[in-house]
Copies of this chain bind each other. A is one copy, B any other.
Amino acid sequence: MSVTAAAGFDAAGVAAGIKRTGALDLALVVNRGPLTHAAAVFTSNRSQANPILWSKQIIADGRVDAIVLNSGGANCFTGSEGFQVTHRTAEAAATALGISAGDVLVCSTGLIGEQLNPEVLEEGVLSAVDRLAATVDAGLSAARAIMTTDSAPKTVIVEGGGAHESGGERKGKGERDEGKRVSRDAGAAATSSTFTRDQTTGWRIGGMAKGAGMLAPGLATMLVVLTTDAVVSASDLDAALRAATRVSFDRLDSDGCMSTNDQVTLLASGASGIAPAAADFTAALTSACRDLAQQLQTDAEGASHDITIEVRGAATEDDAVEVGRAVARNNLFKAAIFGNDPNWGRVLAAIGTTRAPFDPYLVDVSMNGVRLCHAGAPDAPREAVDLTPRATHLLIELHAGEASAMIWTNDLTHDYVHENSAYAS
């Protein structure tokens, strides 16, 4: 039920006609309060889409009543005409909802450099307002409406108490390695029925995400909306969101390409009447973000391996992240994994491009539990590694300190090239 899992939120997803296919392409999420606190983080790309420019202004006061999201066009590099389209979209929602356009965020995703038709968006917004509901279906429709090349909607629910459910409708692209998952709160196994609103005894976080390519730090081509009925101030929401995204979406680096449209938004209604401790809220939010990040990784365009790069023994966490990213962006390594080739030399060549302190003759490299390189020299034979499972674990031990980090990426495949060479057509 995604964003409607938390009390106080209505949602809708409609086919506004932006996509030629007639698929759902416009989502609306409305915070019915009593609180309308909000926080957001944005792409660090300096080429920013019009909805990013708009939303950065809107979020400044920490109040958001509604958010409109469209797929089918990024509204980026569309000049002042494009900014007007974003503005008109927010105005349409505000008028229909009886709120201020200054409290309406807008997100867009799709091809850069194409004008969106403002009338189509306005009509879509009106249609979405008509269908607003707090139901499971409404939340799922919203999650579907933001999809581009995603193969399935991505949703998550985290109970303040610890239970956790993710992506009920996700299509399996292969086995998930639950043993390697980072988040998963401890607690009772959650089922859908656990999360009907009547049974709520605490507070919740619900969320939806889209993104299946251009997944790189400073976010990714991702749009994420997280909702909570916890009582949290706007400034605490901001702190929690920055802490959570730093170790989740910002550790996802599918293809090294940073988008112009990324936005992660967190809305708080306070409808549960419960004010959790900041640490508890941040932990639950981090769990939700990690879950969505891993759904994005699993659905990355054309990927045949989900690669967890674990860097241990770095001098600092920043060093560990830099090393992990360098490997995650190495096309030769990624192509080798596609071919089930445990080519650890390419890992070391990538590490050598970083500024992280390390001695090439102390480094160990393991894949899927087999140590292939010890102290900078060959160790186990390549044949000992089985790279046929989709879940791939690369462990780099730098022996330069005590810090560690994980980066999630994918392999470089024929399908990646195909999907991205045909995207605009």
A335 and B420 within 8 A (CB): yes
Within the assembled complex, what's the spacing in Å between the Cα atoms of A58 and B47? 47
Q: A417 near B: Cβ within 8 Å?
A: yes
A190 interface contact, C-beta 8 A? no
The dominant DSSP class at the A interface is loop
Docked Cα-Cα span, A387 to B421, in Å, equals 13
Interface residues of A in 349-384 (CB under 8 A from B): 349-354, 358, 360-361, 372-373, 375-378, 382
Contacts of A414 in B (CB 8 A): 414, 417-418
Q: How far is the CA of A358 from the CA of B48 in the complex (A)?
A: 13
For the complex formed, measure the closest distance between the CB of A91 and the CB atoms of chain B, giving whole angstroms. Answer: 22
Determine the residue in chain B with the shortest Cβ distance to A377: B79
**Residue A74 lies at the interface, judged by CB distance under 8 Å to chain B:** yes
The A107-153 residues at the B interface (CB cut-off 8 A) are 111-115
> Distance in Å from the Cβ of A322 to the closest Cβ of chain B?
12
CB contacts (< 8 Å) of A353 on chain B: these are 45-46, 218, 258
B79 touches A376 (CB 8 A): yes
Q: Are A421 and B339 in contact (CB under 8 A)?
A: yes
A341 at the interface (CB under 8 A from B): yes
Complex contact B335–A45 (CB within 8 A): no
Q: In the complex, A81 Cα to B361 Cα: how many Å?
A: 12
Most buried by B among A346, A412, A413: A346
Question: Which residues of chain B are near A423, meaning CB under 8 Å?
Answer: 332, 336, 341, 343
A341-B77 CB under 8 A given contacts A258-B349, A414-B414? no
CA distance A82 to B412 in the complex (A): 31
Q: Is the CB of B115 within 8 A of A349?
A: no
| Cα A191 to Cα B383 with chains together (Å) | 50
Whether the Cβ atoms of A260 and B332 lie closer than 8 Å is no
Answer whether residue A203 sits at the interface, using C-beta atoms and an 8 A cutoff. Answer: no
CA distance A259 to B45 in the complex (A): 28
The docked-state distance in angstroms from the alpha carbon of A422 to that of B336 is 7
- Distance between Cα atoms of A45 and B413 in the complex (Å): 26
How far apart are A283's CB and chain B's nearest CB, in angstroms? 31
B417 and A78 contact, CB distance less than 8 A: no
Chain B residues near A336: list those with CB within 8 A: 420-421, 423-424
Chain B residues whose CB sits within 8 angstroms of the CB of A200 once the complex forms: none
In the complex, A372 Cα to B77 Cα: how many Å? 11
Is A257 in contact with chain B by the CB < 8 A criterion? yes
**A377:B346 contact, CB within 8 angstroms:** no
Taking CB atoms, residues of chain B closer than 8 Å to A114 are: 378
Say yes or no: A47 contacts B77, CB within 8 Å: no
Q: Are A360 and B417 in contact (CB under 8 A)?
A: no
Give the CA-CA distance A351 to B46 in the complex, in Å: 8
Contact check, A350 vs B257: say whether CB atoms are below 8 A apart: yes
A-B contact pairs, 23 of them (CB 8 A): A45-B353, A46-B360, A112-B344, A112-B349, A113-B344, A114-B378, A255-B332, A256-B330, A256-B331, A257-B330, A257-B331, A258-B353, A260-B345, A335-B420, A336-B424, A338-B421, A339-B422, A341-B422, A341-B425, A343-B424, A412-B417, A413-B417, A414-B418
Q: Which 9 A-B pairs have the closest CB atoms?
A: A112-B345, A339-B421, A47-B352, A79-B377, A335-B420, A45-B352, A46-B352, A113-B345, A335-B421
